[in-house]
Amino acid sequence: MNTLRSAEVQKANDWAASKPPLLRFLTACHADFSAETSGAVADYIPELGKADPDHFGISLATLDGHVYEVGDTRVPFTIQSISKPFVFALALDTLGATRVEGEIGVEPSGDPFNSIRLNADNHPFNPMVNAGAIACSGLIREAKGDGAFEYIRQSLGRFAGRDLDIDEAVYASESATGDRNRAIGYLLRNSTVIRDDVGAVLDVYFRQCSVLVTARDIAIMAATLANRGTNPVTGEQVTTPYAISRTLSVMTSSGMYDYAGEWIYRVGIPAKSGVGGGILAALPARLGLGSYSPRLDRHGNSVRGIKVCEALSSHYDLHMLNRSDDARNSVIADYNIGKSSSRRSRRPHEQKILAAHHEDVRIVELVGTLTFSAVDYVSRQLAAQPRPHFIIFDVRRVAAMTRASARLLAEGFQELAAFNVTAILSGIKRSSPQWQTIGEWVEDLANVRNFPVLDDAIEWAEDQIVYRHGGAIDSVEVTELSEQPLLAGLSAEELALLASLGTIRTYQPGERIIAAAVPAVSLFFLRSGVVHVRLPDGIRLATLTAGMAFGEMALLETHHSADVLADKSVTALEVPLPDFLRFREEHPRAGERIMRNLAQLLADRLIVANTKMNLLTAT
């Protein structure tokens, strides 16, 4: 017994000590690349030369806010050129795209990062080289004056999710040895790209490069870029998606300087390096990577950091131009109400109408990230078939929706309106991120409706079909037990005797008639009104109308498994369970018939449930 217990404890300890696969991969990278000693610490800024060449940290942040860390991920180092994409994004949001893009180009230069050269328009080639970065700092200072650096520092902190300090020694060293940057600054002033005092602008630039970060910080900053400007750890929207997309664009073409072409060819992840030893890589909609190792190659990029990025991209096939998303996979189910109706129990005349017009309501259930190509695929599928009167798009499994897909979907809704087709969104709340994306385009469309729950959307559409074809869903009263499916086949005498055992009860809207998990004491036959059968978590199992029984599971179970609530004023015949059981014993033929009817009702429900499952597995 003690041996068995020890084995269980050891197994639990082994499980606790195990690492997720991605963390094991990063750990292996750290172990393998720690042996790489090529390259040299930057010393053209004297203070940078004091960095420990053996420091090596790798951090990866996911878009749900989880951060993996291996090695020296909490060792501070100066951000240097890794600040450039963030200040560019800040400038776009602060001064507007027209102003910033009018001063700074977006083409690769093919030159080293500190080249003293402008493009044919006498503007910086792009914001990732020193000339473009200094111009960005000048634009921020033009907007914020003496508070420019503090404005930048706080912004960098929002990207990192914490307050960031400055290394005063590195700042002093940069300032003392920054003559090449001063030459760039005066060249920009001569071209009127900088209109402010050159010394003041360079002071902002030297300070922003001297901000202290860690590998963990830049992983989170990268993940914020990958997450369309929302910090995945803090949840703060740091900058606009427009600024993010433009920033990632220039990172892709120019983030690794004169190694950028080789980088995007081999690694395929937008990235930015810094001579402090850091590399930031942001894979849109996937992850953010931060590494720190101060040994640099001839391009000024971290040797070990490049190896980590290459290994990660190659091992997991993360090249951004090698996506394998298939738009067809966004449709998890596509059916009409003939295959899966709502949970509302229908009277015979309603069933007849819906059976004849089941193709008038079509349901498309979507999953994953709703992209432009996914919406286009769905649109073409709809156009290839006869148009129904109602199309329900269920998006409860959609994790994200791009603006392009939202706009294309809204334009599809507008086209449907021309054919008198009503579009219905389900599974989306007005407080959700998906509604924030699509709401601006569909809010005012007359042919669009929204239901948080799919079953409610289907029921509403069914009601419209019934109304259009002369049916009625108005409240009726069913006083004859012979109309109850559970009692089908009983004689008039048996029905009369059963009725004498019960009492007519009245319930107000919202009143709980049966509570889940309490002992079953009665069986009910609904005479008028509507009741909802719901699980304790609020999920609706069924909606019942006059002429239907509820509480019948008491014949099989000792406790109720769901709540039954009155939707409107309800009257029902309540038959105490002991009296009903005694009736079955005294009238065995009737008792057998009732149990056969119950078995048929349960079989019908199982068929419906299986149909719903088949719809989800067949698509």
Instruction: Tell me the DSSP string of 228-276.
Output: TTB-TTT--B-S-HHHHHHHHHHHHHHTTGGGHHHHHHHT-S-EEE-TT
**Catalytic member of 41, 70, 81, 364:** 81
Instruction: Tell me the DSSP string of 385-445.
Output: S---SEEEEEEEEEEEE-HHHHHHHHHHHHHHHHTTPEEEEES--TTSHHHHHHHHHHTT-
Q: Is 275 a catalytic residue?
A: yes
Phi first, then psi: give them for residue 392, nearest 5 degrees: -105, 125
Q: CA–CA separation, 36 vs 29, rounded Å?
A: 11
Q: CA–CA separation, 277 vs 296, rounded Å?
A: 7
Indicate the DSSP class of residue 520. Answer: P
Q: Provide the strand spans (E) within 12-152.
A: 40-41, 57-62, 67-71, 77-78
**Catalytic member of 70, 275, 395, 533:** 275
**Catalytic member of 171, 205, 259, 335:** 205
Give the strands of the sheet with 390-401, arranged side by side.
331-336, 361-370, 390-401, 422-426, 448-451
Q: CA–CA separation, 596 vs 576, rounded Å?
A: 21
User: Do 294 and 52 touch, CB atoms closer than 8 A?
Assistant: yes
In single-letter form, the type of residue at position 601 comes to: L
Instruction: Write the CB contacts of 68 (distance below 8 Å, at least 6 apart in sequence).
Output: 20, 22, 23, 26, 59, 60, 61
Q: CA–CA separation, 270 vs 286, rounded Å?
A: 12
Instruction: Write the CB contacts of 504 (distance below 8 Å, at least 6 apart in sequence).
Output: 527, 571, 572, 573, 574
Positive/negative CA dihedral, 545, 547, 553, 558: positive
Positive/negative CA dihedral, 513, 519, 521, 525: positive
In single-letter form, the type of residue at position 332 comes to: I
Q: Is 257 a catalytic residue?
A: yes
CA distance between the termini of the chain: 51
**Catalytic member of 68, 171, 257, 507:** 257
**Could you tell me how many residues make up the chain?**
619
The radius of gyration of the chain from alpha carbons, rounded to an integer in Å, stands at 34
**Catalytic member of 67, 84, 137, 341:** 84
Q: CA–CA separation, 252 vs 268, rounded Å?
A: 8
Positive/negative CA dihedral, 563, 569, 575, 578: positive
Residues known to be catalytic: 81, 84, 205, 257, 275
